[in-house]
């Protein structure tokens, strides 16, 4: 028997605020961070790695919450846990005292994501499969048993979920072969951060086109005149055929969003992302109605499956951008994919930050192979930052994620990265503190 002997949680922060990478109208100075969970066992080489993503301050709070949430795992049999991934999820989430602090949202939910991502990574490694393969090898019944369908039965029943998975079950290998050939299409946000100069924007757009991208995303929402100028530059560089997406990071009220987006309509954006509060289902529905045919996209702050259920029910979004480190691990993410399939909404996962690209490539592949069966209107975010800290980094070629083949969820960081960027004691941050003091 292999036993989980300890849970080590690291507060890892990268000083991205120094270069304005990741700057947008709401988030001007993020330090991309991870509350990083390692499930250690008494068997050499057997461990699970997972994380949630934050942008700096408060990452310690998420780390502490993850430590508490993971406590029931210590001393448990690895094979029992990975043999019932739905059961361990329900056990961890059923702590009623911790539930009060959400429920199922905010810090506690981010912590649950970190822990469950590590549990699934462990399960995939134990099975000697990349996570996407662990998922696509499951039967419809097994998949639905791991999914969290609580509060969703008015949108999708267990039987409906099994039926829609069963439809695609026989053709899975064919789609795996196809993706192994072509990769999964992605788009880049690296070009369009708000803090970049016009010259840098123009150069990065050109580089993106040259690298094979057919979708480019710009941050907007701080100043309308500047947005118009920057959209014009982007359109000039990428041409009329490529897709331009715009992203306001929640800065507007509903009516303001409608007016602003209409003022950018001449640039034919494919979608407006996060036009207003991520909690505002009815607001997104109103915006969507008003700005069509421009699509509405949201989800990186979509707090849980109940929020997404309502986004689907209210026909509030054209693109579902679920976040792999904000939803509570694959258990909840599978439920959102199942609803998205039923309601006919494409899922284009949020990525970027640190490590999110490593996770979402597995999810997008799983979606195409086992749930949606289509690539239509689907494109997964890619940001070319911080991949060097991962043992099994994602690989993007010609505007597409290559299919990852190493066992696990690609979540493991290099020991050297932990040593350098752990906060506040890692060598990088200790150095900053020393230079401030001197």
Residues that bind a second copy (CB under 8 A): 26-31, 54-58, 60-62, 64-65, 68, 95-110, 150-154, 250, 253-256, 276-283, 286, 301, 303-304, 306-307, 309-310, 313-314
Q: Minimum CB separation from a second copy for residue 244, in Å?
A: 25
Contacts of 240 (CB under 8 A, 6+ apart): 268
Of 304 and 417, the one with the shorter C-beta distance to a second copy is: 304
Q: Minimum CB separation from a second copy for residue 109, in Å?
A: 7
387 close to 358: Cβ distance less than 8 angstroms:
yes
346 close to 319: Cβ distance less than 8 angstroms:
yes
Q: Minimum CB separation from a second copy for residue 133, in Å?
A: 32
Beta bridge pairs of residue 219: 247
**Is 350 a catalytic site residue?**
yes
First to last CA, the chain: 52
Q: Minimum CB separation from a second copy for residue 313, in Å?
A: 5
Q: In whole angstroms, what is the distance from residue 380 CA to residue 324 CA? A: 12
Find out whether the peptide bond into 424 is cis, omega within 30 degrees of 0. yes
Of 131 and 345, the one with the shorter C-beta distance to a second copy is: 345
Among residues 284, 350, 385, 387, the one annotated as catalytic is 350
Q: Minimum CB separation from a second copy for residue 209, in Å?
A: 31
Of 104 and 227, the one with the shorter C-beta distance to a second copy is: 104
Beta bridge pairs of residue 66: none
Q: Minimum CB separation from a second copy for residue 323, in Å?
A: 11
Residue 152: both structure tokens together = 């969703």
39 close to 7: Cβ distance less than 8 angstroms:
yes
Of 47 and 272, the one with the shorter C-beta distance to a second copy is: 272
Among residues 109, 217, 219, 301, the one annotated as catalytic is 219
Of 175 and 284, the one with the shorter C-beta distance to a second copy is: 284
Of 99 and 268, the one with the shorter C-beta distance to a second copy is: 99
Of 26 and 228, the one with the shorter C-beta distance to a second copy is: 26
Active site residues: 219, 350
């Amino acid at each position: 028997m292999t036993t989980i002997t300890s849970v080590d949680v690291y507060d890892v922060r990268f000083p991205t605020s120094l270069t304005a990478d990741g700057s947008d109208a709401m988030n001007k100075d993020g330090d991309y961070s991870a509350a990083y969970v390692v499930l250690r066992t008494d068997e050499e080489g057997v461990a699970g790695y997972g994380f949630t993503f934050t942008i700096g301050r408060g990452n310690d709070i998420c780390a502490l919450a993850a430590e508490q949430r993971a406590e029931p795992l210590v001393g448990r049999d690895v094979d029992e846990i990975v043999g019932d991934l739905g059961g361990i999820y329900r056990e961890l989430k059923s702590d009623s005292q911790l539930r009060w602090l959400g429920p199922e949202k905010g810090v506690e939910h981010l912590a649950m994501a970190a822990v469950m991502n590590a549990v699934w990574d462990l399960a995939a490694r134990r099975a000697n499969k990349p996570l996407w393969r662990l998922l696509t090898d499951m039967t419809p019944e097994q998949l639905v048993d791991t999914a969290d369908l609580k509060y969703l039965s008015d949108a999708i029943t267990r039987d409906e979920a099994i039926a829609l998975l069963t439809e695609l079950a026989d053709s899975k290998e064919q789609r795996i072969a196809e993706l192994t050939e072509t990769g999964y299409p992605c788009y880049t946000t690296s070009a369009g951060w708000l803090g970049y100069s016009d010259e840098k924007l123009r150069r990065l757009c050109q580089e993106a086109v040259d690298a094979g991208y057919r979708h480019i995303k710009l941050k907007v929402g701080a100043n309308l005149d500047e947005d118009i100028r920057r959209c014009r530059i982007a359109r000039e560089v990428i041409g009329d055929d490529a897709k331009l997406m715009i992203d306001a990071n929640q800065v507007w009220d509903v009516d303001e969003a409608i007016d602003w987006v209409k003022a950018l309509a001449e640039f034919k954006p494919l979608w407006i992302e996060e036009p207003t509060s991520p909690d505002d289902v009815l607001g997104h529905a109103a915006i969507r109605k008003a700005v069509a045919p421009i699509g509405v996209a949201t989800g990186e702050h979509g707090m849980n499956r109940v929020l997404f259920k309502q986004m689907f029910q209210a026909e509030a979004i054209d693109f579902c951008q679920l976040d792999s480190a904000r939803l509570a691990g694959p258990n909840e993410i599978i439920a959102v994919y199942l609803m998205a399939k039923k309601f006919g909404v494409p899922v284009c996962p949020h990525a970027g930050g640190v490590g999110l690209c490593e996770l979402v490539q597995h999810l997008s592949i799983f979606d195409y192979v086992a749930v949606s069966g289509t690539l239509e209107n689907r494109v997964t975010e890619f940001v070319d930052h911080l991949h060097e800290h991962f043992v099994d980094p994602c690989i993007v070629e010609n505007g597409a994620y290559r299919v990852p083949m190493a066992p696990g969820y690609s979540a493991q960081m290099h020991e050297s990265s932990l040593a350098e960027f752990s906060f506040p004691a890692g060598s990088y941050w200790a150095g900053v503190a020393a230079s401030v003091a001197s």
